[in-house]
Structure 1
Amino acid sequence: MRLRPRAALAAVVVSAALVSGTLSGCSDSQAPSRWVTPSATPAGTADPRLAAVQLPPPLALPAGDLSVSSQQVTYTRQGRTLRTVVWTPDHAGRYPAILFSHGLNGTPEEFAPLLKSWAAAGFVVIAPAYPNTTRGAPSLDVYDVLNQPADASYVLGQVLAGPLGTHIDRTRLAAAGHSAGAITTVGLFTVARDPRLRAGVILAGSGLGVGTDFSGTPAALFFVHGDADPLVSYASGKATYDLVPWAKAMLTIPGGDHNDPYLRPESPAYGTVAQSTLEFLRLELYGDAAAKADLAPSVDLDSHL
């Protein structure tokens, strides 16, 4: 499909690049309190993107938080070095996995509080550092975001094929990302669809640059966006969400900025983001009915979620 204009992508990511250190925006004025879920895709549609999904049987959740260890591995795709941090539950067994993408001028370690909480709940978390958008890159290239969906798929394949793959249930894979990493994640369900993925989490992202032609086997998507985000507008995230033809939900953070709800545990919204994303991942990758029940009081869930 035709990609969105490069200039439009640059307008978002260049504005982010001008902020020193951790990306910042407006501060949260209050804890999140509302969810937005547009009406579901009409039943009986002939759209091939809505083909039936064959789900694996429910998987038993860990009895409690697990101890977690991390290791760093490095892969190379067509000359592109992909330093990757992997957080793994220390207990024996195979776990669902989440492929996480950082934002512009970010790092995997920057998201350690959130990613380690997912791992402690029974997920392997795979987080590459992208060669031209990570902090400390020799040359920050905003357009390189368009190459990152292919990088992400490659890293996932390498992890699954290597020793770390013995800890992963490859029938239960999801992708997640923040900001430019959320755009990367949308790309994994549009222009660079990875058929192994069955769920996605979009944190402060949109389809800018990677389009909204969602294709392949349906995958449930969960969007989280602050309505005061000064870098990736709430309207752009909502517009992308509206075009998702599959099961979906969106958490709107009133007064939420671009970073605090995802990066800073002291933020009023962080706890809600951490808990809601975890419940979504439990629902979609573990088949946990209780997780859906926990979400239901706060959101008018799409009937297919």
Structure 2
Amino acid sequence: MRRRRTPALLAAALLTVALAGCSDDGARWRDDGPSAPAASAPAGGPRPSASPVPAGSAPAEPFAVGVRELKLTRDGDRALPVTIWYPATGSPGGDPRRGRPAARGRFPVVVFSHGLTARPADYAALLGRWAAAGFVVAAPTFPGTSRGAARYDVLDVLNQPADVSFVLTRVLALDGRAGDPLRGRLATDRVAATGHSAGGVTTVGLFTVERDDRLDAGIVLAGSALGVGTAFAGTDAPQLFVHGERDEVVSYSAGRAAYEAVPWPKAMLSLPDGDHGRALLRGDDRSFAVVADTTVEFLRWSLYGDAAAKRRLPADAARGGLATLDDQL
């Protein structure tokens, strides 16, 4: 089991950061730039584009969505309850329902990390869209940074990459657990890490200081490399960054700096009028559909090997003139 890292690196970075007002996810920190020098990209730019998994096809029709809770504890005292959204039997549409049987098939796994003072349920609109598209989404509630945390501590963000790896191990094990509703339903060799704000920092950390070699792709939503650096390591893992250019909590330049340091196939969806979270948290926001559809297509390509999904990405990103896409996939 991975040991918790000391918070010294993150503390040093955060000492240079001023507190900011609340964003849509309740975050109270501000990141105006990278916490460490950006790593140089390989000569000639990112490596040639290649599908990270064998060519295949993602499900063509949406699923109904089921939801369940998994109670986990790491190191004996670090509670990590996990909310899981999954493709389920029944008619698609409507709210996720508890107790629904899982749909037939094997579905890639996506782990999601919430932002400061948030909880997984705050992102239900987006995570439910991913599950309906054919992904099992597992989102832990972090003990030190979630809303209502007994011992809230922003420095605990540095412990979260190891938390996510622990959660991933336990969730993937459900595929072989007798009697579990997800037994035989998980594509355990196709996994992505995603996260918003401080959860985006957590996600970057899973590809840098706490590289988890099981991860095939990543999505960073309004995040940066604050405290975890940009020493991306391991095998190629395509990355999608999503960031509002008017983000009042994590500056667009900070997110862009982390994106530029990625040495693998990558893309960045930029929202000129986007703030820190409205397009991610509110299904009625005009930009929400653009973010949801673009992230779904990225996951379809990176985890299912669906080349048609990759070809649809630019059109999804450009719909309505609400965003631009820097596409280096």
Report the TM-score when normalising by structure 1.
0.85
What is the identity, as a one-letter code, of the residue corresponding to 2:265?
A: A
Distance in 2 (alpha carbons) for counterparts of 1:241 and 1:155: 25
> SS where residue 68 of structure 2 aligns?
strand
1:8-19 → structure 2 map (5 Å cutoff): 8-9=13-14, 15=19, 19=22
- The letter of the residue matching 2:327 is L
Deviation at 1:68, TM superposition (A): 1.1
Confirm or deny that 1:42 pairs with 2:43: yes
Matches for 1:1-305 after TM superposition, within 5 Å:
4-9=9-14, 15=19, 19=22, 22-23=25-26, 41-43=42-44, 55-78=52-75, 79-90=77-88, 91-162=103-174, 163=177, 164=182, 166-297=184-315, 298=318, 299=325, 301-302=327-328, 305=329
CA distance in 2: counterparts of 1:262 and 1:10, whole angstroms: 28
Alpha-carbon distance in 2 for matches of 1:278, 1:10: 36
TM-fit CA distance, 1:88 = 1.1
Per-residue CA deviations over 1:244-272 (Å, capped at 9, x if unaligned) read 11111101100211010110112221111
Offset at 1:125?
0.2
TM-score by structure 2 length? 0.79
Q: Residues 155 and 9 of structure 1: is their aligned pair in 2 closer, same or farther, counting only changes over 3 Å?
A: same
**In the alignment, which residue of structure 2 is the partner of 1:34?**
none
- Cα deviation for residue 8 of structure 1 reads 3.0
Do the aligned partners of 2:62 and 2:132 also contact (CA within 8 Å) in 1?
yes
Offset at residue 287 of structure 1 (A): 1.0
Partner in structure 1 of residue 97 of structure 2: none
- For residues 38-95 of structure 1, the C-alpha deviation after alignment (integer angstroms, 9 at most, x for no partner) is xx843599xxxx7998943233322311011010011111110000001111111110
Equivalent residue pairs, number: 284
Tell me how far 1:22 sits from its aligned partner. 3.7
Q: One-letter code of the match for 1:42?
A: A
- Secondary structure of the 1:301 match is strand
Contact 2:195 2:220 in 1 (8 A): yes
* CA gap 1:10/1:113 in 2 versus in 1, 3 angstroms: farther
Gaps of 5+ in 2: 29-40, 89-102, 319-324
RMSD of Structure 2 on Structure 1 (CA): 2.7
- SS of the residue 2:112 aligns to: strand
- 1:182 touches 1:202 (CA, 8 Å); kept in 2? yes
In the alignment, what sits opposite 1:30?
A: none
Structure 1 unmatched ranges of 5 or more? 26-39
Q: Residues 21, 117 of structure 1: CA spacing in aligned structure 2 closer, same or farther, 3 A cutoff?
A: closer
Distance of 2:15 and 2:184 partners within structure 1: 39
